Amino acid sequence: MKYKLIKILLIFFVSVIIISGFLFLSKNTDRFLEIDFLDVGQGDAILVITPENQTMLIDGGPNNRVLQKLGKYLPMLEKRIDIVLLTHPHADHVAGLVEVLKRYNVGAVILSGVELKTEVYSEFLKITLEKNVPIIIAEAGQAIHFDENLEFDILAGVDGGEKVFNKNSEGFGVRGNDVNDASIVGKLIFSAKGGSASGGKDFSVIFMGDATSKIENQLLAYGENLESDILKAGHHGSKYSSSLLFLKFVSPKAAVIEVGAKNRYGHPTEATLSRLKMINANIFRTDQNGDIRVLSDGFTTNIYKEK
Ligand SMILES: [Zn+2]
C-alpha cells in the first residue's frame, strides 16, 4: 500500500458543517482544537470540537455514560453532533451511541462497514435509518475536510470480503473480516494558520480504534506520514496492538489509552506499556486520569487530566 491520499471532498458534510460552525461561531472565543478522550469505562468515546465549533464523536463507549460527558463538554443546550464516527461495531464502541442518536441531531454517521450481527449494532443501525441520518462507509484515502486547516484522513478501514448492504434483516456490511481489524483508523491533522509558511509543524493525532499489529504493519507503508503528536493506542492497550516498530514510525509525544479500571481483559498490558515507555511517550489512561483533554492552537498543545 503506497501513501496516496485521495482527498475526496465529502460535499454533504462540508455544507452541514459550515452551517453548524457558523451558528456557533459566536460562542468560540479561544479558537482551539479540543479533543476530549472520555472516561466511559472499558470502551472508547472521543469528542472532537474544532476551532469553528464543528463536532465529531468517535465511538460512544459501552453504556450511557457518554451522555453525561457530552452534557458536560458540549455547549449548553447543544443538541447537534455533526459527525458520529463508529470505528467498528463492537459493543464497547457502539452501545453508548444508541441513546446519542436518539437524543442528538446527528449530521452524518461514518461506519467501517464491517458486518456484525448483534442486537446493539442492529439497534444502532435501525435508529440511524429511522432518523434518516446519512450513512457513509469509510474507505482508506478519503478525508473529511472540516476547514482548510483541519482534516481527518482515513488511513485504513474494512478490507475486501462479500459486500452486503441491504438495509434490512438480510444483513449490512462487508463479510469475512476480523471486526477489530476492520476498525477505521484515522489521522486528524491541524495546521495552525500560516503554520507551514512560518516554519511551524502540523499538530496531529492518530486514532487506532481496536486495530491490532496486523493493521499496524500494513500502515507502515505510509512511512513518515504516520508520525503523530498523539496516539490513541489501539485496542485499549492490548498486547496485540502498539507494536514497537509501529510506535517508532508514529513516534508520539503522548499516548492515550481508553480503558476501564480493573477490566476483565487485563488492559492495558504491561507489554504495551513498556513499549510505550521505550519510545518515551507520556502515557495517559482514562482509568487513572479520568477524562483527558487536549487543546491545541496548532503551535502549542496542552494535555489536561481530570485526575
Ligand atoms: Zn474496544
Could you give the domains of the chain? 11-298+301-305 (3.60.15.10)
Q: What distance in Å separates the CA atoms of residue 7 and residue 187, rounded to the nearest whole number?
A: 13
Best CA proximity match to 176, nearest among 113, 246, 101: 113
So what's the pLDDT on residue 119? Answer: 94
Distance 210 CA to ligand 1 centre (A): 5
Is the model's pLDDT at 18 over the cut of 60?
no
Tell me, in angstroms, the distance from the centre of ligand 1 to residue 269's CA: 14
Ligand 1 geometric centre to CA of 19 (Å)? 33
Which range is least confidently modeled, 14-18, 39-43, 133-137, 179-183? 14-18
pLDDT at 78: 87
- Asked whether the beta carbons of 108 and 101 are under 8 A apart, the reply is no
Average pLDDT over residues 105-113: 95
pLDDT at 20: 34
Amino acid 109: pLDDT: 96
Determine the distance separating the centroid of ligand 1 and the alpha carbon of 38, expressed in angstroms.
Answer: 14
Over residues 129-149, the mean pLDDT reads: 92
Ligand 1 centre and the CA of 93: distance in Å? 6
Q: Give the pLDDT of residue 33.
A: 94
Query: In 125-145, which positions are buried (b, 16+ CB within 10 angstroms) versus exposed (e)?
Result: bebbeeeeeeebbbebbbbbb
**Does 11 score more than 70 pLDDT?**
no
CA of 153 to the centre of ligand 1 (A): 21
Give the mean pLDDT of 17-40: 62
C-alpha 199 to ligand 1 mean position (Å):
38
Paired sense of beta strands 150-156 and 163-168, if any: unpaired
**The pLDDT of residue 265 is above 50:** yes
Which pLDDT belongs to residue 158?
A: 85
154 Cα–ligand 1 center, Å: 19
CA-CA-CA-CA dihedral for 126, 132, 134, 135, to nearest 10: 10
Which pLDDT value is given to residue 9?
34
Asked if pLDDT for residue 151 goes beyond 70, the answer is: yes
The pTM (predicted TM-score) of the whole model is 0.88
The band of 166, judged by pLDDT with boundaries at 50, 70 and 90, is low
**CA distance between the termini of the chain:** 41
* CA 44 to ligand 1 center in whole angstroms: 6
pLDDT exceeds cutoff 50 at 201: yes
Cis peptide before 268 (omega within 30 of 0): yes
Closest CA to 45 of 27, 29, 62, 32: 62
DSSP state of 86: E
Q: Higher pLDDT residue, 25 or 136? A: 136
Distance 88 CA to ligand 1 centre (A): 8
In angstroms, rounded to a whole number, what is the distance separating the alpha carbons of residues 220 and 208? Answer: 13
Distance (Å, whole) CA 109 – CA 198: 36
Gap from CA of 18 to ligand 1 centroid (Å): 32
Residue 223 falls in which region: left (phi positive, over 0), alpha (psi -120 to 50) or beta: left
CA of 226 to the centre of ligand 1 (A): 22
What protein residues have CB closer than 5 angstroms to ion ligand 1? 92, 210
10 Å CB burial of residue 271 (0-12, 13-18, 19+) is middle
Centre of ligand 1 from the C-alpha of residue 20, in Å: 30
Residue listed under C-alpha cell 453532533? 81
Question: In terms of pLDDT, which residue wins out, 131 or 19?
Answer: 131
d(CA 116, CA 255): 29
